[in-house]
Structures are given as structure tokens and as C-alpha cells.
């Protein structure tokens, strides 16, 4: 029985074989929303209050998010995509400019660059890590580069000290387009932190580190508002935070000089439209979900961290050629958003077959991500996967295992047990 397990994958299995006898078939969804009665109560409260669009709960949620991130202001929106796009627009990025991001990410990191008319510049990742190759990042910077968008994949923050060192070394190439860019006097760093809300880099919260940080509160994220996102920024001597907040408000609500809450003051009906802007505000119904989620977010993170620890312990003990990311080290405390594994030496076809077999056993998995140059939209923009070999090498044998705060440790046991059996099939 023991001898049939191929040594390329299995390191120690006696404990696993004993556990198998007590295993029962489970159904483990990939990332269901963790919604408690408290969220439901606050949503009902918002609906009964008469404030279902942007109102007092949205402002409360923004204030609480800022406190959590140790920043002065947060602007909530209807998605992280909107948060990134509005920030690029606030910075005056447009045609003739270049913005750099990773080739290994979800489309939103790059599509927002296209939305504002700037040129997308994709950089390959490090070999064996879904993080931008910083040598290639530095080489990609030109006199047209205005913004870098690092991506905090799986909840692990990028090496921002390295990024800011690169930006400083390339400072002489920077030519500002507007007053805000001039105030920075260098390339701006905007973190795609869709995965990293609650993570830390060298003791600082995600939101405190990059110049601007965009969060996602989509249904599959650690903290959800069903759909939603936010942007925050670190304190800078040349930024008046209240004024910047007002600029965002104009961008996200049609350029209207007063939001619905301000107009509700008796006699304050009149407003102006100062620019033909956009519509991407968060509602009080969404904020109500977020307020409740934030109240118990520390507990949510504890559960996710325990699950990651259990995955790590079992995978390190059992497998030789199954690799995982480092979620906790002296510099980084991950938000444990996604659990990546890579099965060394297998093909993309074999990886896909493993995913199907796990699904047949009730285990939902995913792949994060198909590199952007493999997608039709980016092929049509001229990107070719041959220019991003590290991204393809990472992608072809990557599987994202289920990780969510509704799981228990026995679910991890079940996933690992079945992974052993599938790899041995």
C-alpha cells in the first residue's frame, strides 16, 4: 500500500493513511462569503433608515477603514477597479503616458491603464514567485512612466522598499503632467491591494506603505461588501488629505459639489457640477455589510492564518515537489487571501486534470492567474507570452486550494488527503 505512492510527491504518509480511515466525503467550496447575522441586521437597519445610497454608514465605514489602516482618509467606491482608475485620473495620467504593472495578475490591474488612455507596460515575475521581477521593472521605466502598480498577490505585500529605491534611482527621468505629479517629483506607486487588506509589510499596514493603495471588497475577498472597493493614501507633507478626499468625491459622483447626505440638510438643495465626471460611489447597504465585517475581521484573519499554517505543515511534511508561498516572514504578514501550490514538473494539461479530479471529490479549486499575455484582449494589444517566461512557468503548474473563513482544520486534512490520492492516481 505505502510503496505505491511515488516518491517524487510523497515524503511521509503513515499519518495520512491512518487519517484516511476516518475521512468522509466533504463539499468544500472555494471562497463563499462569510456572512453572519450581524451583517444581515445592519443591512436591514440601513434599508429601514431611508439611507440606501451613499450616506452615514458609508462615511462611518470610511472612517473605520482609515483607523484600521492607520491612514487619515479612505474613499470607498463600487470596486477596486474604480479605485485604481479614479486614482490614475486624479493623477492626470492619460494618452502619451506609460504605467507599469505585472504580467501575472487579474485584468483589472492593467485594464484601468487602458481606460485612461495610457500605455500598458507589463513586467515579468520572478522565477517561482508571483511578484514582479524588480530588475525588469527598473529596465522598463522610461521618461514616459508615470505610475507603477505593484500587485499584492494572494495577500502577500510586495517589496515596497525595493520599489521605492528603484523609483528614486529613476527620478531624473520623471516629467510631471499636473500639480499633484509635480508635488511627488517622481513616479507614483499605487498598490493593487485587492488581496492584501489587513496584511503588513515591515510592521506597516497595507494602505500605509504605497503612495496610494486600492482595496477590493468583492464577494470572494476576505472582507466583503458584496461589490465594493476603496482607496487610501499615506500621509505626505504636500498633500492636504481633506482636499484630496474632496477631489475624489467629485470624481466618483458626477462632479457634483454636494453628495446626497450634504443635500439632506434643510435648505441645502442647490449644488453645482464642476466637471462631467464618473459614477462609482459605494452605497450604505454595501457599507453596512462592511462595517459588520470589519468588526470581526481580526477573527476572520485568525481563522485564515490557522488554515494556512495547517496547509503549510501538511504539505511540507508529506510532499517533496509541491511548493507553496511564504505567507509569514520577518518582513511580511500576509492577509492569507489565497493559498497557491505549484506541482513541480507537471504540464498545464496534467494540472487541469488534477483540478477536475479534485472537483469530483467535492473540492473546488482555481488557478491564479492566467498571465495577461495569454488573454485575447492583451494579445490584441500586442503582448506575447514568450516575452514572459517566468509568468507562464508559474501558471502552468499552479493550483489555488480552497481557503476561506468558513472552513475548519478537518477541511484542510480532507483537501491534502485527496491531493495525495489524485497525484497518485
Question: What is the pLDDT, as a whole number, of residue 15?
Answer: 39
Q: Which of 161, 149, 231 has the alpha carbon at shortest distance from 192? A: 149
Residue 413 has pLDDT above 70, yes or no: yes
Q: Catalytic positions, please?
A: 221
CATH class of the region 2-30+297-365+402-424: alpha beta
Mean pLDDT score across all residues of the chain: 94
Domain boundaries, the chain: 2-30+297-365+402-424, 37-295
E-assigned strands of 283-375?
A: 322-324, 332-333, 339-343
Query: Which residues 6+ apart lie within 8 Å of 419 measured at CB?
Result: 322, 354, 358, 401
CATH fold of 37-295? 3.40.640
User: Rounded distance, CA 304 to CA 337, Å?
Assistant: 8
Q: What is the pTM of this model?
A: 0.93
pLDDT digits (tens, 9 = 90+) for 231-263: 999 999 999 999 999 999 999 999 998 776 665
Can you tell me the mean pLDDT for 137-146? 99
pLDDT digits (tens, 9 = 90+) for 323-373: 999 999 999 999 999 999 999 999 999 999 999 999 999 999 999 999 999
Percent residues over pLDDT 70 in the chain: 93
Query: pLDDT class for 12, splitting at 50, 70, 90?
Result: very low
Q: Which of 384, 267, 291, 223 has the alpha carbon at shortest distance from 57? A: 291
HSE, CB side, 13 Å, CA atoms: give it for residue 225.
Answer: 28
User: Rounded distance, CA 133 to CA 332, Å?
Assistant: 18
User: Rounded distance, CA 24 to CA 419, Å?
Assistant: 15
Query: Which residues 6+ apart lie within 8 Å of 293 measured at CB?
Result: 34, 39, 223, 224, 225, 300
Amino acid at each position: 500500500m505505502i510503496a505505491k505512492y511515488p516518491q517524487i510527491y510523497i515524503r511521509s504518509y503513515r499519518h495520512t493513511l491512518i487519517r484516511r480511515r476516518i475521512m468522509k466525503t466533504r463539499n468544500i467550496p472555494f471562497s463563499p462569503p462569510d456572512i453572519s447575522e450581524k451583517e444581515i441586521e445592519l443591512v436591514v437597519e440601513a434599508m429601514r433608515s431611508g439611507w440606501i445610497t451613499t450616506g452615514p454608514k458609508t462615511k462611518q465605514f470610511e472612517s473605520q477603514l482609515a483607523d484600521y489602516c492607520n491612514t487619515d482618509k479612505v474613499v470607498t467606491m463600487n470596486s477596486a477597479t474604480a479605485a485604481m482608475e479614479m486614482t490614475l485620473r486624479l493623477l492626470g495620467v492619460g494618452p502619451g503616458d506609460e504605467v507599469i504593472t505585472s504580467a501575472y495578475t487579474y485584468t483589472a490591474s492593467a485594464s484601468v491603464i487602458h481606460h485612461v488612455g495610457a500605455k500598458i507596460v507589463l513586467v515579468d515575475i520572478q522565477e517561482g514567485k508571483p511578484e514582479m521581477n524588480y530588475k525588469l521593472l527598473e529596465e522598463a521605466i522610461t521618461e514616459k512612466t508615470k505610475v507603477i502598480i505593484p500587485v499584492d498577490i494572494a495577500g502577500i505585500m510586495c517589496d515596497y522598499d525595493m520599489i521605492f529605491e528603484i523609483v528614486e534611482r529613476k527620478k531624473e527621468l520623471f516629467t510631471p503632467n499636473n500639480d499633484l505629479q509635480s508635488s511627488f517629483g517622481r513616479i507614483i506607486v499605487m498598490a493593487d491591494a485587492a488581496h492584501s487588506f489587513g496584511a503588513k509589510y515591515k510592521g506597516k499596514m497595507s494602505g500605509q506603505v504605497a503612495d496610494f493603495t486600492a482595496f477590493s471588497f468583492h464577494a470572494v475577498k476576505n472582507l466583503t461588501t458584496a461589490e465594493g472597493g476603496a482607496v487610501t493614501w499615506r500621509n505626505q507633507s504636500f498633500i492636504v488629505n481633506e482636499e484630496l478626499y474632496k477631489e475624489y468625491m467629485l470624481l466618483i459622483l458626477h462632479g457634483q459639489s454636494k453628495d446626497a447626505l450634504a443635500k439632506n440638510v434643510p435648505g441645502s438643495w442647490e449644488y453645482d457640477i464642476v466637471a462631467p465626471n464618473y459614477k462609482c460611489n459605494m452605497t450604505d447597504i454595501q457599507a453596512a455589510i462592511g462595517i459588520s465585517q470589519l468588526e470581526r475581521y481580526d477573527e476572520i484573519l485568525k481563522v485564515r492564518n490557522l488554515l494556512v499554517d495547517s496547509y503549510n505543515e501538511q504539505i511540507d511534511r508529506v510532499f517533496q515537489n509541491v511548493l507553496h508561498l511564504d505567507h509569514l516572514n520577518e518582513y511580511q504578514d500576509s492577509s492569507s487571501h489565497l493559498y497557491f501550490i505549484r506541482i513541480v514538473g507537471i504540464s498545464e494539461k496534467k494540472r487541469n486534470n488534477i483540478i477536475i479530479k479534485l472537483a469530483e471529490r467535492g473540492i473546488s479549486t482555481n488557478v491564479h492567474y492566467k498571465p495577461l499575455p495569454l488573454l485575447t484582449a492583451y494579445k490584441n494589444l500586442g503582448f506575447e507570452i514568450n516575452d514572459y517566461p517566468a509568468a507562464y512557468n508559474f501558471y502552468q503548474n499552479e493550483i489555488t486550494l480552497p481557503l476561506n473563513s468558513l472552513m475548519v482544520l478537518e477541511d484542510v486534512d480532507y483537501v491534502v488527503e485527496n491531493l495525495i490520492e489524485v497525484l497518485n492516481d
